[in-house]
């Protein structure tokens, strides 16, 4: 595992899962999900995979779609990964808990140390967990409770872990994210701004902040490729998504902006960080 203060680590692998027809039909844990344009959702997902592999130079591992797991593409909810340790989560929705099985096996095959949640009182969605490179913030939301946050702290003992109240239907990373090694980006809603203010009170580290017009634009991924000499990337919503936030993102001058679209997948509750798992250090073979 990394040491405190070393910053967000370099990435070598990314894991995604294909889009099943059952997601396009509006099935799954979220009752009343709108029907999707399957072809468009699959194109968005394919472009994301291509950017991770070709633009960012990551080794891409793609799990096949499973019709019994309509929300399976949102695999960012299924694990919290730091260094060589993967905490397998316990999603709030019982219907989503089988999603962790394929992810667990894939991460085991990569040589990561797997930590399970055995407490049936705990709920934890991975997109409620924000790692800044120095510490963890865990959103206490509809999806994640105090016991889930305690297990994050027990698993990653080298880092401070603080809890942040999240109001409304969002996960923490649906409101804010890392726009650089020392920069927090956040949406402009009351929920997002309250979360950022809570984080500022709880941390001992000075982070710069950037407010974006759209909460969903703050759901981005700051990534350091494993290739030497390559500057860090910020994978963010683009391609016509959230145009009001694009100008603000240009202020992040120390990163290479890599835009992707997930406007169709968003209808199923997908944020950008929920669509992939990135390994922040090269796992043991």
Q: What is the pLDDT of residues 178-223, one digit of tens each?
A: 999 999 999 999 999 999 999 999 999 999 999 999 999 999 999 9
Residue 130 has pLDDT above 80, yes or no: yes
Question: In which element (H, E) is residue 24 found?
Answer: helix 21-24
6 is a domain residue: no
The alpha carbon of residue 163 and the mean position of all alpha carbons in its chain are separated, in whole angstroms, by: 17
Domain around 233: 47-63+70-271
Domains in the chain, number: 1
212 is a domain residue: yes
CATH number at 115 reads: 3.75.10.10
Please indicate whether residue 276 is annotated as part of the active site.
yes
**pLDDT-based confidence at 107, cuts 50/70/90?**
very high
Rounded percentage of the chain residues whose pLDDT exceeds 70: 92
**pLDDT-based confidence at 230, cuts 50/70/90?**
confident
The predicted pLDDT at position 281 comes to: 52
The predicted pLDDT at position 25 comes to: 82
Name the catalytic one among 11, 176, 262, 276: 276
The Cα 42–Cα 115 span in angstroms is: 31
What is the 8-class DSSP label of residue 29? S
The Cα 226–Cα 19 span in angstroms is: 28
The predicted pLDDT at position 102 comes to: 97
Which segments of the chain are extended strands (E)?
Answer: 10-11, 13-17, 59-63, 79-82, 85-88, 113-115, 129-131, 135-140, 160-165, 176-180, 183-187, 208-212, 221-225, 233-237, 256-260, 277-279
253 is a domain residue: yes
Pairing of strands 10-11, 221-225: parallel
What is the 8-class DSSP label of residue 91? -
Judged by phi (left if over 0) then psi (alpha if -120 to 50, else beta), residue 114 lies in beta
CA neighbor of 107 nearest in space, from 13, 19, 20: 13
Residue 30 has pLDDT above 80, yes or no: no
Please state which of the ranges 23-27, 30-34, 186-190, 228-232 shows the lowest mean pLDDT.
Answer: 30-34
Residue 32 has pLDDT above 70, yes or no: no
The predicted pLDDT at position 9 comes to: 66
The Cα 184–Cα 106 span in angstroms is: 30
The predicted pLDDT at position 35 comes to: 80
**pLDDT-based confidence at 3, cuts 50/70/90?**
very low
129 is a domain residue: yes
The Cα 159–Cα 213 span in angstroms is: 31
Residue 2 has pLDDT above 90, yes or no: no
Question: In which element (H, E) is residue 22 found?
Answer: helix 21-24
Residue 239 has pLDDT above 90, yes or no: no
**pLDDT-based confidence at 95, cuts 50/70/90?**
very high
8 is a domain residue: no
Name the catalytic one among 13, 171, 176, 236: 171
190 is a domain residue: yes
The predicted pLDDT at position 10 comes to: 80
Average pLDDT over residues 37-60: 94
Please indicate whether residue 171 is annotated as part of the active site.
yes
91 is a domain residue: yes
CA neighbor of 203 nearest in space, from 110, 108, 137, 274: 137
**pLDDT-based confidence at 225, cuts 50/70/90?**
confident
DSSP-assigned states of every residue in 56-77: S--EEEEEPP-TT-TTTT-GGG
| pLDDT, the chain, mean | 91
Secondary structure (3-state) at 194: helix
In angstroms, what is the C-alpha Rg of the chain? 17
CB 223 within 8 A of CB 235: yes
Residue 36 has pLDDT above 90, yes or no: no
The predicted pLDDT at position 284 comes to: 45
DSSP-assigned states of every residue in 160-186: EEEEEE--TT--GGGTEEEEETTEEEE
The Cα 76–Cα 34 span in angstroms is: 21
Q: What angle do CA 141, 143, 149 make, to 5 degrees?
A: 70
Please state which of the ranges 3-7, 138-142, 179-183, 207-211 shows the lowest mean pLDDT.
Answer: 3-7
Residue 66 has pLDDT above 60, yes or no: yes
**pLDDT-based confidence at 96, cuts 50/70/90?**
very high
197 is a domain residue: yes
Residue 159 has pLDDT above 70, yes or no: yes
Q: How many other C-beta atoms can be found within 10 angstroms of the C-beta atom of residue 188?
A: 16
């Amino acid at each position: 595992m990394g040491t405190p203060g070393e910053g967000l680590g370099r990435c070598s692998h990314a894991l995604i899962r294909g889009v099943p027809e059952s997601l396009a039909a509006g099935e799954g844990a979220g009752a009343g999900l709108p029907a999707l344009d399957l072809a468009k959702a699959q194109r968005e997902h394919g472009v994301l995979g291509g950017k991770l592999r070709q633009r960012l130079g990551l080794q891409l591992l793609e799990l096949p779609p499973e019709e019994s797991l309509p929300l399976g593409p949102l695999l960012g909810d299924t694990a919290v990964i730091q260094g060589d340790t993967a905490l397998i989560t316990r999603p709030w929705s019982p219907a989503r808990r089988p999603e962790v099985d394929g992810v667990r096996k894939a991460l085991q095959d990569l040589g990561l140390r797997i930590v399970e949640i055995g407490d049936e009182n705990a709920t934890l969605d991975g997109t409620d967990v924000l790692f800044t490179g120095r510490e963890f913030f865990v959103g206490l939301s509809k999806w994640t409770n105090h016991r889930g946050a305690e297990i994050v702290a027990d698993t990653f003992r080298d880092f401070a872990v603080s809890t942040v109240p999240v109001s409304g239907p969002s996960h923490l990373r649906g409101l804010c994210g890392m726009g650089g090694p020392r920069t927090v980006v956040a949406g402009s809603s009351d929920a997002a701004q309250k979360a950022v203010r809570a984080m500022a009170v709880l941390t001992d580290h000075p982070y710069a902040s950037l407010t974006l017009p759209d909460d969903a634009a703050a759901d981005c991924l700051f990534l350091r490729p494993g290739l030497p000499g390559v500057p860090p990337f910020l994978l963010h919503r683009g391609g016509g998504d959230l145009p009001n936030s694009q100008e603000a993102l240009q202020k992040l001058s120390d990163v290479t902006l890599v835009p992707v679209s997930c406007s169709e997948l968003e209808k199923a509750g997908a944020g950008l960080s929920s669509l992939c798992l990135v390994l922040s250090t090269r796992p043991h073979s």
